[in-house]
A = this chain, B = another copy of it.
Amino acid sequence: MSTGAGAARGVVDSPVTFWYPPRPMRSAETIAIGSELLVGGRLDSNSLFVAEQLGMLGLDLRFKTVVGDAVADIVAVIRVAAKRADVVVMTGGLGPTVDDRTRDAVAKVTGRPLRRHPEALDGMTRRLAAWGRTPSKAQLRQALIPRGAEVLPNPVGSAPGFALSWKGAWLAALPGVPGEAREMMTTALVPRLRAALGRRAGRPIVRYVIHTFGRPESEVDAMLAAVRVRPKAVQLGLLASPNGVSVSLTAPGGPPDRLVTAVRERLGVWAYATGEERMEQVVGRLLTDQGLTMAVAESCTGGLIGHRLTEVAGSSGYLDRAVVCYANRAKVELLGVPDELIREHGAVSAPVAAAMAEGIRLRSGVGVGLSVTGIAGPGGGTDTKPVGLVYIGLSAGPFRAGTRDRAALNVTKEYRFHGERSVIKWRASQAALDLLRRWLINADPFEAP
């Protein structure tokens, strides 16, 4: 399948083109389609990525709408959106089942009947063939595209998208599967929108985000009190989550460097990443740079730290192993934690965390061992050891990285986390990775949150 706009122009069966809309493109709206997003307990997460991409093009996203699978309702929201926004990006409702009604709704609104589109059919057939399959009758519906629309190729799934202009608005439909919507937004929609906007494009609305861990929102707010947020067009935002507190600076053209520097200076070592980067990527980059290997011994996090580290491509270069030793016997067998230590202090204790970190490091022969033991709840808490009590251990052998010698270190930290089981697990994993990060950047781990 060709991905060029020129080739696509060649196959449309009407002279309609959409990339020179009769009115300037300024405002945008997203429409997420699917009853599961209305009443199925599922959130429209596609709009986050679409919003960011539209903002980068200088488009002003003013509305987001969610609608179910009823054609009449989809028709109603498309009508409203096309009136109040110049660019409308729909996600969902392009699958092969009878629930998937976006095609029908767009055909109804625009008065352009659905046609089997040769390019869409071709792309879908090839993709399925690569998986050793042929299109089913239901899947053939996915090649139906409103007359005059351009096909947006789907490089990762079977359902193609499409785009067309109608009454001066630019309408695009993408599949609802997040991976596919994301990929098609980047590879198909953004280049076409950029070409369509040309020099009339507004300044991109850029959001610069700095992620911190270890201090509550009010303290992060206080850290920034002395920073003058100028020019006035810059919006400062704080967002708290189990990952920590994120500080955002949003402005047309992006916040000035001077301001970004001032904010970063105030946040100091509490800031662990910017933009899309996650803690596990930061830690992975530092380990790679320093030529270090690591291993993890997890009790209450149950594999979450290993899972997070291995979400990063290339993590096999520094992660040797992780053991989840839920049972005390596993702690003894896999890590060599002395039985007496567990009997004397309990499995959730600083001495056991220290023995776990050192045990995993020595047994796997890596540079750094990391351990977590705690009470994730909801059961298992006592007066002296309540739910949310977590000990994290870090054990490092002496070694030389670049021009620096680093002394051997065994450190444990005590934490009290609040929230439900999954939140306590997540915060504990974040705290463990942050402790490792601080050690890797030579910040004092004892000062860690």
Q: Which of A76, A300, A302, A333 has the most B CB atoms < 10 Å from its CB?
A: A302
Contact of A310 among B43, B55, B136, B425 (CB under 8 A): B425
Whether the pair A63, B65 counts as a contact (CB closer than 8 A) is yes
Q: In the complex, A238→B100 CA distance in Å? A: 9
Q: In the complex, A436→B305 CA distance in Å? A: 23
Whether the pair B321, A321 counts as a contact (CB closer than 8 A) is no
Kindly list chain B residues whose C-beta atoms are within 8 Å of the C-beta of A34.
Answer: 239
Per-position 1/0 for A150-164, Cβ under 8 A of B: 000000100000000
Kindly list chain B residues whose C-beta atoms are within 8 Å of the C-beta of A418.
Answer: 131, 156
Q: Report the minimum CB–CB distance from A179 to chain B (whole Å).
A: 6
Whether the pair A221, B41 counts as a contact (CB closer than 8 A) is no
Chain B residue nearest to A365 in the complex (CB)? B329
Whether the pair B67, A62 counts as a contact (CB closer than 8 A) is yes
With an 8 Å Cβ cutoff, the count of chain A residues facing the other chain is 102
Decide: A321 near B320, CB < 8 A? Known: A97-B238, A99-B238: no
Kindly list chain B residues whose C-beta atoms are within 8 Å of the C-beta of A40.
Answer: 207, 209, 237, 239, 248, 250
Quick one: which of A312-343 are within 8 Å of B by CB? 313-316, 319-327, 329-330, 333-334
Which listed segment binds B: A44-52, A166-174, A190-198, A404-412? A44-52
Contact of A138 among B42, B218, B300 (CB under 8 A): B218
Q: Which of A43, A99, A296, A310 has the most B CB atoms < 10 Å from its CB?
A: A310
Kindly list chain B residues whose C-beta atoms are within 8 Å of the C-beta of A131.
Answer: 418
Quick one: which of A222-241 are within 8 Å of B by CB? 222, 235-240
Q: Report the minimum CB–CB distance from A105 to chain B (whole Å).
A: 14
User: Which DSSP category, helix, strand, loop or mixed, fits chain A's interface?
Assistant: mixed
Contact of A61 among B39, B42, B96, B300 (CB under 8 A): B39
Per-position 1/0 for A399-436, Cβ under 8 A of B: 00000000000000000001111110100000000000
Contact of A70 among B62, B218, B379 (CB under 8 A): B62
Kindly list chain B residues whose C-beta atoms are within 8 Å of the C-beta of A96.
Answer: 217-218, 221
Q: Which of A67, A84, A97, A313 has the most B CB atoms < 10 Å from its CB?
A: A97
Contact of A323 among B36, B305, B324 (CB under 8 A): B324
Beyond A36-B248, A303-B322, A330-B364, 15 additional contacts (C-beta under 8 Å) are: A40-B237, A41-B52, A41-B239, A43-B43, A44-B44, A47-B66, A63-B67, A136-B218, A136-B222, A138-B221, A179-B423, A302-B309, A303-B309, A306-B307, A322-B324
In the assembled complex, 9 residue pairs joining A and B whose CB atoms fall closer than 8 Å, in A order, are A36-B248, A38-B51, A38-B62, A38-B63, A41-B248, A47-B66, A138-B222, A296-B324, A304-B307
The 8 closest A-B pairs by CB, nearest first: A302-B310, A303-B306, A303-B303, A322-B324, A64-B66, A321-B330, A303-B307, A306-B324
User: Measuring CB to CB, which residues of chain A are less than 8 angstroms from any residue of chain B?
Assistant: 34-45, 47-48, 51-52, 55, 61-70, 73, 76-77, 80, 84, 95-97, 99, 131, 136, 138-139, 156, 177, 179, 205, 207, 209, 217-218, 221-222, 235-240, 248, 250, 296, 298, 300-311, 313-316, 319-327, 329-330, 333-334, 363-364, 376-379, 418-423, 425
